[in-house]
Structure formats: C-alpha cells, structure tokens
Amino acid sequence: MSLDTSLYYLTAMSTPCICSICLSEFVDPVCTPCGHIYCFSCITQATSILRNEVSTTAPCPACRKPFSIRDDPLSRDFHEYFGYPLRRLYLNGLRVNSEDQLKRLEERIATLERENQRLRIKNLLLLALYMRQQSEWNSRSVPWLARTPHTGEAGSGSPSRVPREEHNPVRIRWMVNM
C-alpha cells in the first residue's frame, strides 16, 4: 500500500463518525439491518413513538426501509449479542488501529526527514569539496593562461597543459561518508 493510499484511509478513519439523527459523534453506535448507523439512544427515541402504537416495524431514518422494533422476549443482557434487530458496533478498535497507523506514519515521516537532512548535508559537503578543487585548479591555471598569449606559443599549435594534482581519495571518502 502506498503512502498516499495509507494517508487517504487514515484521514477517512480519523474523521469523527457522525450520527445523522443527533449530528454528533456516535455514542454507543448500533447498525440497522439495512446498514445505517446511529447512536443507540437516537434510534430508540426515533422509533419509540411507533413502539407505543400497534406497529412492530419502523422505517430507517435514512432509507425508510422497515425493520423490526418489537422487544424480544430475551433478557436485555443478551440483546447485545443476538436476537435483536439493531447490531452493536465497536468502533474503538478502529480508532486504536488508526492511531497505531498514525503513529507509524509519523515515525516514517520523521525517518524520511532525517534521511533528507543527512543527504542535504552530504550534498553540501560534496559541493564544497568540488568548489575547493575547482578553486585550486583555477588558481594554478590562471597564471599559466596569463603568461601564454591567446594565439598560443609561437611555433606550436597549442600551449602545453599544466599537470593536475591527484586528489587524496582518503580525504574525499571521509568527507562523503560524514
């Protein structure tokens, strides 16, 4: 999974889940058989008027698909696990995972920033080394050019080259590996 995809899912999961009835973050979320999610108290209040009537079904507030609102003969202790038309949702597990994922992504960003800083320093050192070598070469070659006429030596096609000093590989390696 790419970093962009991870950030997309992380953003989607970190946005608060909002109940469409009370317009606040879910408290004790439940899911209707049609798949819409509400706070338990919100959907209970929304269907309580119909519970007092003879009707055994109520329409979903979002899609108007009917679902059973009758009280099951099971003890209220067991409603959470089976036999009840509203299924309990446990969103805390998702938040923990997204928090873990957020922490991993923040650590990855910190690692990449450190690597970026290290590479910038290395680049500056190499640039300084290059500039120093160019300066040394130019300081040796400029007096030679000043003594030589632009048309070259009389009788020769071009001036002879000044031999270049060899670089110290140990010193270069030390500056690059810093």
How would you class 32 by CB atoms within 10 Å of its CB: exposed for 0-12, middle for 13-18, buried for 19 or more?
buried
Q: What is the pLDDT of residue 141?
A: 61
Q: What is the pLDDT of residue 97?
A: 59
Q: What is the pLDDT of residue 120?
A: 95
Q: What is the pLDDT of residue 94?
A: 44
Q: What is the pLDDT of residue 65?
A: 87
Q: How many residues does the chain have?
A: 178
Let me know: does 50 contact 58? Beta carbons within 8 Å.
yes
Q: What is the pLDDT of residue 76?
A: 54
How would you class 39 by CB atoms within 10 Å of its CB: exposed for 0-12, middle for 13-18, buried for 19 or more?
buried
Encode burial over 69-89: b for 16+ CB neighbours within 10 A, e otherwise.
beeeeeeeeeeeeeebbbeeb
Tens of pLDDT along the chain (178 residues) come to 455 555 554 454 455 578 888 888 878 888 888 888 888 888 888 877 666 666 677 888 888 888 777 655 554 555 555 445 556 555 544 444 567 778 888 999 999 999 999 999 999 999 999 998 888 877 766 555 556 565 544 445 454 554 454 555 555 555 555 5
| Contact partners, residue 20, CB within 8 Å, separation at least 6 | 36, 38, 61, 62
Please give the full DSSP string across 56-112, using - where no structure is assigned: SEEE-TTT--EEE-PPPSS-GGGTTTSS-SSEE---HHHHHHHHHHHHHHHHHHHHH
Q: What is the pLDDT of residue 92?
A: 47
Q: What is the pLDDT of residue 83?
A: 46
Q: Which domains does the chain have, with CATH numbers?
A: 18-90 (3.30.40.10)
